[in-house]
Chains A and B, each alone.
Chain A
Amino acid sequence: MLALLGALIAPLTAGSAALSEQDADALIGRLAKPAPATISFTEVRFSKLLRAPLIVSGDLGYSGPESLDRRVTTPYREQTSIRGESVKVEREGEKPRSFALKHAPELRGLLSGFSAMLAGDPVALRKTFDVEMTGNDDGWTLKLTPTDTKARRRLQQIEVNGRHSEPRCFSMTTADGASSVLLLGAASAEPVAPDVTLIALQRRCGGSGQGS
């Protein structure tokens, strides 16, 4: 049902023609931003364990290929720092929790996708992902599928939607069907309804939708 709806909506919101590799690379090149870069985000996380999605917002600070900070400001404060192979999550009034990036392939996917895009480096991006690009300059979609089969067992796909040189949404789908959508920059400014559905969000991003 979801997939069907997505498939119906997608052609309306974005051009369906796949871009050539050259065009895709040119577009990725335009996404480059000098580090350190900060961008506001709203993350909506869906899970089968949950009745309603979890919504948090804050900002992402990128200061190099191995260093990403995720600061949550609403509805509570939380700080995640990725340094090399280790991830540390700190929340107010709690003991910080550290774990290896290896345990969170989603995060590693996000980090490498993010790094490659902010570096405007299509070669690096293609090293870890199969890249497929559709749409045009006014509305494009990058589909990133991990090349490593082991990684694909956890992280199925990352979809990035954007306009011109500005990425608007990061949608990650894990192998067990859970997914989370990051609205970036201007896209994060609009409020998100507490009972928002994945489809509504994808629409807002202008993406083609899951499973199209």
Chain B
Amino acid sequence: MKLTRPALLLLFLWLVLLAGLTWFVQRQLQVGTDLRLFLPSPTTPEQRLLLEEIGEGPASRVMVISLEGAEPEQLADASRTLVENLQSSPNFRLVTNGDISLDSVPDELLAYRYLLSPTLDERPLDQKYLHSELQERARDLASPAGAFLEPWLPRDPTLELLKVLQRWQPMQEPNRLFDVWFDQEGKRALLLAQTRAAAFDPDQQRLAVEQLNAEAERLKGDDVTLTFSGAGKFSVMMEERTRDEATALGTAATVGMIILLLIAYRRIGSVILSALPLASAGLAGLAAVSALFGTVHGITLAFGFTLIGVAQDYPIHLLSHRHATRSPVEAARELWPTLATGVASTCIAYVTFLFSGVIGLAQLACFTVAGLAVAGLTTRFALPVLMDPEGRDFGESAWLGKVWQRMERLPRPRWAGVAAIALSIAAMVFAPQPMWESDLSKLTPVPKELLIQDQELRSELGTPDVRYLLVITAADTEYALQKLEELDEPLQKMVADGAISGYDHAARYVPTAEKQRQRQARLPEPATLRDDVDAAVEDTPFRPDVFEPFLADVEKARHLRLLTVDQLRDSPLGVSVEMLLTQHGDGNDKTAARTTALVTFSGVQDVSALERFAKAAGSGVTLLDTKNASETLVTNQRIKILWSLAVAAVLLAGVVTFALRRASRVYRVLAPMALTTLLIIGILQAAGVSMTLFHLIALILAAGLGLDYALFFEHAADDPMEQRRTLHALLVCSASTLMVFALLAMSSLPVLRALGLTVSIGVVSNFVLALLLTRPTPPPHGT
């Protein structure tokens, strides 16, 4: 291949431009993995809460760890060592194994017991109360509990700390062996670990996951098997799997593509050149997205590159239309109206995604539009200059001519089309599964067995019902805690009525400042307390002088600064409190600051009782049905996408009409695409597939391909040579696309499979239908 000077210059400039883009992209591009980018912006408070919870809520940071394989006592020891190891790591904020004993309460919290315990709400700390308590303590001392209570009694004769600790226990306590959490059978020790990073911060999560893997490796030596699960692990795992599989399939597809192009054109130079528009498209797309959005979602990239794969067709058309008597530049000029119609209508269709309200889709649109436009323009204006004018003219191929003639004579029964439409609609109507998949978890296709294991571990730990949550929105933490204290009584009643078996909220751990102040005010003055203690001790077996530490603690409690949620944060209770109470907005923006408090339920038996309770609870309190909210969210997303699609279809038809002008031509070009879309949906439905976002994206891609095929078939005039060239181009295009997506369809990942399968069906159907429908029926005597 010899290049002229201007062509060399052009090639040089092009490559320089590509290098520049690569540099820009490398500097700018940040790949995000937050799936929420692919969800529509929330419109209700519940949806907002749901998204916060999914993405970075404390619940999403919690990993459940189980240890098994050894004797319970050994497992309990391993559990304690694990807590020590992880607690000192920067990757974890808090690790708990249920071991809350009298000694586990941090010293600075001890004196708070009089402000935390409800005792003082009901009675003063006077002689009468102390006397009855001391008599109880004498009995305790004579009981087997005596030995471990004895050291505490001088400091805490009313056992206030024990009352506080009991209050802090989960209502549905996990099983305990040797003081740490175990499953019901006592075979697995269980722990909860909260990572510092949010679930969708894959790099940080990876560090946490790696550390747990290292611990698992270490424990293997002691025959203890460590398993863990949680959103963070899943996101790390899925990212790895997706990347591995996408790389493997991508490599296979690239190799396949090169071989196919070499067979088709038999020139290495042509094949290399034909890759330039696609490479330019990818880089231009990346540059556009990173310039406009900053962070690009991994899914945008994956889908984006799939969608602009269509751009590979553009140089193929050019290569197949090579002509002995026509320079490549002339060929490009002749092809341009058809190519431009295809590119423009597809781009305009994608533009509608910019307004779908789903950021991920907007990114995808931006990427694809930029990519396709650049691919189209470079194919028209740059590539022909570089192309070798000499080469095989596919118009001379005898067998292509024969194939074309045979195709022209194929029967085109109208009833078949009608039947296909009828069958597809029937499949949509009668398919037993729902037409749309509304389950959010299908967006993150974590293997089912892992989800089941995760669920099982969580239920062993008595973690609350994931579906129902009571959400309280308040201006600040104090108001939120007040509301919770008000609700506590009706909540207890619901437990008594059996509607729920337990509940949890932040006010169980931290009383309102108001309440703490009241309790503090009720603590007696030192002199009064001393007299009361002396009088109370008199007719008990206790010696009068042993309660000095008690007097000192009460005096200390009288002057404590009230306990706040922040003080609890790093105590063993931190995880519970933080999951239940979230402060939003920072200190700078007081107007946006608000506090969301949650009441979680366990063992929900009577949903209607919950609903009645929530209704009666007043303003700012809503019962969140997370399943419902997420389904609404997905439905909203789908409605938005479907509207975008409808607008896209209208725009696309508009562009095609504008370009082709005659109604019969417009019909011939649009019919195969429309029919194919219907057929794909029909086939998927008949095969029992509920459609997701991924199927919709695949449908759009298939439609874009269909449009191109139809345009080019339609474009091929009556010149048999030109017909053969068109046929060659379309055969190469559809074969290569089919190969790539058939490979994707073999993926083990539902996302890739959905994409691959849908587009593969689309390519076949589009090709056949474009061939049958865009050519007018030939006169019976043949050509």
A-side residues, CB < 8 A to B, are 43, 45, 47-56, 70, 72, 76, 78, 80, 82, 85-87, 89, 91, 94, 97, 99-100, 102-107, 154, 174, 176, 178
The reply to whether A50 and B541 contact each other, CB–CB distance below 8 Å, is yes
Give the residue of B147, B151, B179, B542 whose beta carbon is less than 8 angstroms from that of A51: B542
Given A51-B543, A102-B178, verify A45-B144 contact (CB < 8 Å). Answer: no
Give the residue of B101, B145, B153 whose beta carbon is less than 8 angstroms from that of A97: B145
Most chain B CB neighbours (cut-off 10 Å) among A47, A86, A91: A47
The reply to whether A154 and B147 contact each other, CB–CB distance below 8 Å, is yes
The reply to whether A49 and B141 contact each other, CB–CB distance below 8 Å, is yes
Say if the beta carbon of B663 comes within 8 Å of chain A. Answer: no
Q: Which single residue of chain B is at the shortest CB-CB distance from A76?
A: B139
User: Which residues of chain B (143-158) have a CB below 8 Å from chain A?
Assistant: 143-148, 150-151, 153-154
CA distance A86 to B176 in the complex (A): 9
**B177 neighbours in A (Cβ, 8 Å):** 85
Q: When A and B form their complex, what is the total count of cross-chain residue pairs whose Cβ atoms lie within 8 Å?
A: 78
The reply to whether A47 and B143 contact each other, CB–CB distance below 8 Å, is no
The reply to whether B144 and A80 contact each other, CB–CB distance below 8 Å, is yes
Give the residue of B101, B139, B151, B154 whose beta carbon is less than 8 angstroms from that of A91: B139
CA distance A174 to B148 in the complex (A): 11
B102 → chain A, closest Cβ, in Å? Answer: 8
**A107 neighbours in B (Cβ, 8 Å):** 144, 147
Given A104-B148, A178-B150, verify A49-B179 contact (CB < 8 Å). Answer: no
A142 → chain B, closest Cβ, in Å? Answer: 21
The reply to whether B147 and A106 contact each other, CB–CB distance below 8 Å, is yes
Q: Which single residue of chain B is at the shortest CB-CB distance from A70?
A: B144
**B144 neighbours in A (Cβ, 8 Å):** 70, 80, 82, 87, 89, 104, 106-107
7 A-B pairs besides A47-B141, A50-B542, A86-B176 with CB distance below 8 A are A45-B142, A47-B150, A51-B541, A54-B142, A100-B178, A103-B101, A178-B147
Most chain A CB neighbours (cut-off 10 Å) among B139, B144, B542: B144
Give the residue of A54, A94, A102 whose beta carbon is less than 8 angstroms from that of B541: A54
The reply to whether B148 and A103 contact each other, CB–CB distance below 8 Å, is yes
**B151 neighbours in A (Cβ, 8 Å):** 176
CA distance A70 to B145 in the complex (A): 12
CA distance A78 to B176 in the complex (A): 24
Q: Which single residue of chain B is at the shortest CB-CB distance from A43?
A: B142
Say if the beta carbon of B546 comes within 8 Å of chain A. Answer: yes
CA distance A107 to B178 in the complex (A): 15
CA distance A104 to B179 in the complex (A): 12
Say if the beta carbon of B138 comes within 8 Å of chain A. Answer: yes
**B176 neighbours in A (Cβ, 8 Å):** 86, 100
Q: Which single residue of chain B is at the shortest CB-CB distance from A105?
A: B147
B 112-153 binary contact with A (CB < 8 Å = 1; else 0): 000000000000000000000000101101111111101101
A52 → chain B, closest Cβ, in Å? Answer: 5
6 closest Cβ contacts across the A-B interface? A54-B142, A106-B147, A103-B148, A107-B144, A50-B541, A56-B142
The reply to whether A87 and B145 contact each other, CB–CB distance below 8 Å, is yes
CA distance A205 to B546 in the complex (A): 31
A18 → chain B, closest Cβ, in Å? Answer: 29
Q: Which single residue of chain B is at the shortest CB-CB distance from A90?
A: B143
CA distance A163 to B731 in the complex (A): 105
Pick 26 A–B contacts, CB within 8 A, sort by A.
Answer: A43-B142, A45-B141, A47-B141, A47-B146, A49-B154, A49-B542, A50-B543, A51-B542, A51-B543, A52-B541, A54-B141, A72-B142, A78-B143, A85-B177, A85-B178, A89-B145, A91-B143, A100-B179, A103-B101, A104-B145, A104-B147, A106-B147, A107-B144, A154-B147, A176-B150, A178-B150
CA distance A50 to B137 in the complex (A): 11
Given A49-B546, A176-B151, verify A89-B141 contact (CB < 8 Å). Answer: no
**A105 neighbours in B (Cβ, 8 Å):** 147
B186 → chain A, closest Cβ, in Å? Answer: 9
B 467-479 binary contact with A (CB < 8 Å = 1; else 0): 0000000000000
The reply to whether A89 and B150 contact each other, CB–CB distance below 8 Å, is no
A106 → chain B, closest Cβ, in Å? Answer: 4
A74 → chain B, closest Cβ, in Å? Answer: 11
Most chain B CB neighbours (cut-off 10 Å) among A56, A85, A91: A85
CA distance A102 to B176 in the complex (A): 12
Most chain B CB neighbours (cut-off 10 Å) among A48, A99, A106: A99
A114 → chain B, closest Cβ, in Å? Answer: 12
A43 → chain B, closest Cβ, in Å? Answer: 7
B53 → chain A, closest Cβ, in Å? Answer: 34
A33 → chain B, closest Cβ, in Å? Answer: 21
**B150 neighbours in A (Cβ, 8 Å):** 47, 49, 176, 178
**B543 neighbours in A (Cβ, 8 Å):** 48-51
**A94 neighbours in B (Cβ, 8 Å):** 136
The reply to whether A49 and B146 contact each other, CB–CB distance below 8 Å, is no
The reply to whether B542 and A45 contact each other, CB–CB distance below 8 Å, is no
B470 → chain A, closest Cβ, in Å? Answer: 28
**A55 neighbours in B (Cβ, 8 Å):** 142
Give the residue of B139, B145, B178, B542 whose beta carbon is less than 8 angstroms from that of A99: B145
Q: Which single residue of chain B is at the shortest CB-CB distance from A97?
A: B145
User: Which residues of chain B (542-600) have a CB below 8 Å from chain A?
Assistant: 542-543, 546
B 177-195 binary contact with A (CB < 8 Å = 1; else 0): 1110000000000000000
**B101 neighbours in A (Cβ, 8 Å):** 103
**B139 neighbours in A (Cβ, 8 Å):** 76, 78, 91
**A104 neighbours in B (Cβ, 8 Å):** 144-145, 147-148
CA distance A55 to B139 in the complex (A): 10
The reply to whether B153 and A99 contact each other, CB–CB distance below 8 Å, is no
Q: Which single residue of chain B is at the shortest CB-CB distance from A82?
A: B144
User: Which residues of chain B (509-558) have a CB below 8 Å from chain A?
Assistant: 541-543, 546
B131 → chain A, closest Cβ, in Å? Answer: 15
Q: Which single residue of chain A is at the shortest CB-CB distance from B137?
A: A49
Most chain B CB neighbours (cut-off 10 Å) among A70, A87, A104: A104
CA distance A86 to B150 in the complex (A): 19
CA distance A43 to B147 in the complex (A): 14
Q: Which single residue of chain A is at the shortest CB-CB distance from B146?
A: A45
**A78 neighbours in B (Cβ, 8 Å):** 139, 143
CA distance A105 to B145 in the complex (A): 10
